[in-house]
Amino acid sequence: MLGGTEFVGRAVTEAALARGWEVTVFHRGRHAPPPGVAELLGDRTAEDGLAALAGVAEPDDGTCAWDLVVDTWSGAPSAVRDAARLLSGRAARYSYVSSRSVYDYPAPAGLPEDGPLVEGASPDAGGDVSYALAKRGGELAALEAFGDRALLARAGLIIGPWENVGRLPWWLTRIARGGPVLAPGTPDLGLQYIDVRDLAEWLLDASGKGLHGPYNLVSRPGHTTMGELLNACVRATGSDAELRWTDTERILAAGVEPWTDLPLWLPPGELYDSIHRSDVRRAHGTGLRCRPVEETVADTWAWLCDIGGTAPQRADRPAAGIDPAIEAKLLAG
82-108, pLDDT tens digit by residue?
999 999 999 999 999 999 999 999 999
pLDDT of residue 284: 98
Whether 200 has a pLDDT exceeding 90, the answer reads: yes
Whether 120 has a pLDDT exceeding 80, the answer reads: yes
Whether 269 has a pLDDT exceeding 80, the answer reads: yes
Q: What's the one-letter identity of residue 262?
A: L
CATH of domain 7-158+195-217: 3.40.50.720
Question: What's the average model confidence in pLDDT over 229-248?
Answer: 98
pLDDT of residue 96: 98
Biggest alpha carbon–alpha carbon distance for the chain: 72
Measured between alpha carbons, how far is 38 from 25 in angstroms, rounded to an integer?
6
pLDDT category, 111, cuts 50, 70, 90? very high
Is the peptide bond preceding residue 116 cis, with omega within 30 degrees of 0?
no
> Rounded to an integer, what is the distance from CA 124 to the centroid of its chain?
23
Listed in order, strand segments (DSSP E) in 133-248 are: 150-155, 158-159, 180-184, 190-191, 194-195, 213-217, 224-225, 242-246
Contact 180, 116 (CB under 8 A): no
Whether 266 has a pLDDT exceeding 90, the answer reads: yes
**β-bridge pairing 66-71 and 91-99:** parallel
- Rounded to the nearest integer, the mean pLDDT of the chain is 96
Question: What's the average model confidence in pLDDT over 267-291?
Answer: 97
Measured between alpha carbons, how far is 292 from 283 in angstroms, rounded to an integer?
18
Whether 62 has a pLDDT exceeding 80, the answer reads: no
Question: What's the average model confidence in pLDDT over 147-173?
Answer: 97
Out of 16-25, 54-63, 91-100, 217-226, least confident range: 54-63
pLDDT of residue 131: 95
CATH class (in words) of the domain with range 163-191+222-332: alpha beta
Domain ranges of the chain: 7-158+195-217, 163-191+222-332
pTM of structure: 0.96
pLDDT of residue 333: 81
- Would you say the CATH fold of 163-191+222-332 matches that of 7-158+195-217? no
Q: What percent of the chain has pLDDT over 70?
A: 100
pLDDT category, 211, cuts 50, 70, 90? very high
